[in-house]
Structure 1
Amino acid sequence: MSEIAASATLLVVLFAMLAGGVWVGLTLAGVAWFGMAMFTARAAGDAMAITIWGSTSSWTLTALPLFVWMGEILYRTNLSANMFRGLAPWVNKLPGRLLHANVAGCTIFAAVSGSSAATCVTVGKMNLPELLRRGYPERQVIGTLGGPATLGLLIPPSIILIIYGVSAELSIAKLFMAGVLPGLLLAALFSGWIMLWALRHPDQVPKADDELSFMQKLAEARHLIPVVLLIVAVIASMYTGVATATEAAAIGVLGALILSAWQRSLTWQNFRDALMGATRLYCMIALILAGAAFLTLAMGYMGLPRQLAEFVGSLQLSPAMLVVALGVFYIVLGCFLDGISTIVLTMGVVLPIIQAAGIDPLWFGIFLVITVESAQITPPVGFNLFVLQGMTGKQVTWIARACLPYFCLMVLMLVILWYFPGLATALPGKM
């Protein structure tokens, strides 16, 4: 059977299992088993056992559950709830006023959670009721939360970047550094859009709160300082070379526990819930990674990556056209699969293609994560849309329209990243 027929058969099996409600990780392993049994002479059993053990016992992957646990601790204690109180006085003078608290809150919490969904839930619980109570337009409140919450995938420590780094065999610390400048620039684009909207619709922006003096703002900022110091400690430990990504994650967990205990918000119930929440999320991710590793091995035995790379090479696409094609491909694919599944499902095929085209895998990782970010707010499977639907009761299509400007800004960010690749490669180059 030709490679095209084999690929088509595997795609049919893949989507049939996904449509049947089979877990993504089990689906990937099942498709790999089917492919090896049908199209290769290699025994599938021992190959699966060796691959799954190798993919889940990686020391690099240890950083993932630790960062997830750190985010869970902050989510379940008062540390995250104090962010709005510390941020609000500093954004009161900007056009759009407290809507910027959503962007700033998502940017800060993204740097300690690594998860888009956790960022959306945490900042939403703090800010949504307060902003609606003050009279801000509901569409703008929800849009300024849904779009910026995707920063949890880009600003380090990012779960997606860890998974990409493991899949592409790249330095996690360098990937984290590569995400800093694009993440901050994307947050600035979000705030810039809010200012533009506020200047065009001044009648929809509530009056400013009473202006505080500089010393009063500093007094309120004390609620924000502990989280900021934790972020700085985690990132600085990696950037200076004092700690690896895994050791920095352990520093983050220890710091989150100390801060929450110091503020007397750490209880045995909070500790247990955070640990169990992190365990459940990591087990889901580990199952997906294991299935994807087995599928990558199976495709290698079948020769599919090589054939696809040769086909793409025969098209003689320029690097720019290849990046555009891959960007569209990932945005469309992200409409139907979550970000983790999207990356691990395609890395075995896409990585040889971009390497053959001379594209820096480090740069491409940031490009890829931004496309996955945009898929978090595109129906029908935009995960942030479902999170916001559960919090607000609005229809997914209504929420998607509220988030549409932020999707467009992410596409603009992809264009900027292409023309200014140093945004992603400058900081890692200094490590």
Structure 2
Amino acid sequence: MTKIYGTKNFDVITPGSSSLGVSGVPSKLVTGSADTIYGLGGNDKINGGAGADTMYGGAGHDSYYVGTMLDKVIENARQGTDSVYSSVNTANKWLPRNVENLTLTGTAFFGGGNDLDNVITGNASANTLHGYGGNDRLSGANGNDNLYGGSGHDTLDGGAGADAMYGGAGNDNYRVDKLTDKVIEYSGQGIDGIYSSVSTSYKWLPRNVENLSLSGAAKRGDGNDLNNTITGDVLDNSLYGYGGSDKLYGGSGNDVLSGGAGRDTLVGGPGNDVLDAGAGLNTLYGDAGKDRFDFTSAERNETSLRTIIKDLKIDDDRIGLAAQDGEAFSEGLSWAKEGVVGSTLKPDWYFEGSTGDDGEDPSGIYLSFRGAAPSSATIADLWYNPTFAIAGDSSWFATVEFAADAKIIGLSADDFVLI
């Protein structure tokens, strides 16, 4: 057995080369047999070569090169952030105590961490990586990988290939670059999120995963029936929340946001956005740009189901009313160009106040001011009356808060369009 001593500098110790030596200790040649190597101080790179080697890094951020499971790596607490590069498969919870990081090399395909905050990196093989305890980062590289975060708040990135990622307990984040990637979460395992660089499809967000963020070339983002937070990117995104009380953020493009059922919050962001009110008590923020707030169902006579438009900008924004059969807004209304999508409401079908000018012809859209005179009011309610009945069948479908520089009395029939 050969003993090799480094210095307090940044040493590179490999088989077949002399150690740098320290005072009173002769330099010796690593034989490639069962060596004991001491890195001492500094950020050392230690490679025992063949044989069952014992490697001590000492203080500093040390790197160890392991070629057999008979190699031993010894680190003490608070001696830096240390890494193992292994060309052989490890065992479960193999990563030595007080060592944080593991990288697979060569033909190795199995890597097991420990209960520290590990960074575990695979190679071109089909890897199986386990983080166990701690807040781990697992990266699978090029193969069809299986990644297991374990307990803790983990980040899993399968890389290229069709990967399967299991977060385990904790608030986990996943990076997805193809729809063949699989994310598996179980109930009660935290609030989890996916960062997807590819567009998704109908109700794509996996079971028990709450949040989705788009990146790269992704344009479409689909949630599930949980309470989702879905965030777009710089492209023209289409975001769908489905069930649950969702929060949708459109980003800087010209986005289409649809919350679906539930009490949703939709924020268009910069750009000319379309915000679909959907069902439930929803809150809509158009933000900058020329936005449209769409209503596809007139069944909103219950106070608990109305939508709140928080920042309507007169002259820039529009309110879209559905042109479909049944309980739709087109029923009982008259448009400047009848049946033409994008046509505005006829002026004599829009009223400010609780009744129409002609009591015998009261159907239309009504704006009622909230708690102030029209000239100073900042909040108003929108009502829809589909029939010629004077009272009893109107639906309160939205509350509108106008942008700071807008006057409610500036709203007109031109602000309502057929969709």
TM-score w.r.t. the length of structure 1 is 0.17
Point out which structure has higher relative CO (alpha carbons under 8 A, 6+ apart): 1
